[in-house]
Amino acid sequence: MEEIKIGVVGLGYVGLPLARLFATKYAVVGFDLKKERIEALNRGIDRTLEVSEEGMRSVLRPSVPKRGEKGLYCSCDPEDLRDCNYYIITVPTPVDKHNRPDLTPLIRASETVGQVIVRGDIVIYESTVYPGATEEDCIPVIERVSGLKYNVDFFAGYSPERINPGDKQHTVEKIKKVTSGSTPEIGRKINEVYASVITAGTHLAPTIKVAEAAKVIENSQRDINIAFVNELAKIFNLMQIDTMAVLEAAATKWNFLPFRPGLVGGHCIGVDPYYLAQKAQEYGYHPEIILAGRRMNDGMGEYVAKQVLKCMIKKGQCVKESRILVLGITFKENCPDVRNTKVVDIINALKDYDLQVDIYDPWASPAEVEKEYGLKVMNELPARQYEAVVLAVAHRQFRELNIKTLCKANGVLYDVKGVLECECDGRL
């Protein structure tokens, strides 16, 4: 069997756990453009909290490992990738301000690989894309930069990431892996490499496009299901019916899907449906259900803000210049990830009504929030009371708080996540 050396391009929430896992069996070089990220990782520190310091130190090497060795070396120098024969690209795939797919990170990563790839090498994409992106948009970049010919000199595969940030139960090795290759033989080789470390097993898809499509519909399906219960929440709120009570009752049927209303953000669910929709439109088809679900979910932040204001008015509060505390700004609980967080929509909508908004989140990086959204976030609980408190993220720290004490005597408590056991003035 050939000696395998893997280069992982992109060491974020997806790439780092994968690189660490492969490093328990193979020589791995992890590449990222962010110098400060590399310096922290080489000290064993992962600020995304996806990999523990102990887990990092157990595989870290002080220099680039040779083929046949084990361990991980992190670098921001693309030359350190040169001896690899497998390249795995795990960079983000965002959308622009018009919700159009932005393949810039993928193109740049492909250029990086194109500089070092040689005959016989295999490049595998894990980033979520629309069907066809790997072979139509990315591979030509590698061909252009390297001067090599696809499926003659080098080969490709697609194996979609399925990591759930902050989830310590469903870690990368415990999630079944879909694999694919540009030829049947390459597909089998890629499948064997992943199967050697993924304890949950693998599924070899017949083509790269099938694997791409499988990934993009996973999150599109979830997005549509959440949009449905968000619409239910709006209907039941008008009818003064407790949405969560309705869902609990309905869930007693064996085939009821237990989705809950909420904000849909993050790097996947709030983004991936736009990739599929864009590709569908290129073929002349307008995806009505997918885009309707997106409109519903993208509007939930403003809806929550209006519900909070309604509660305040009902209690006779003067809304203008009132002070509101928002608990949480990350896109999900118990995770520092603030990418595409829809809590920002709540905050901006409240500010439009001249409300003063404080944000408390013990998980979020104030510097990152400031850079991404121009907002100030506190990592320590403020010592004051507010006209309204909005629980936007279900961090475990918030569940342990007596949140009522943060409200003034006539204050409003609104529970976006539906997790508080105390009496609230409003819930989704």
Catalytic residues: 268
Is-contact 10 90, C-beta < 8 A?
yes
Is-contact 23 72, C-beta < 8 A?
yes
- Token pair 């039941």 is found at 236
Is-contact 392 324, C-beta < 8 A?
no
Is-contact 11 74, C-beta < 8 A?
yes
d(CA 211, CA 127): 11
Is-contact 126 89, C-beta < 8 A?
yes
Q: Count CB neighbours of 160 within 10 A.
A: 23
Is-contact 134 208, C-beta < 8 A?
yes
Q: Tell me, letter by letter, the H, E, C secondary structure of 301-330.
A: HHHHHHHHHHHHHHCCCCCCCCEEEEECCC
Is-contact 179 233, C-beta < 8 A?
no
d(CA 2, CA 404): 62
d(CA 397, CA 95): 32
Contacts of 278 (CB under 8 A, 6+ apart): 100, 101, 130
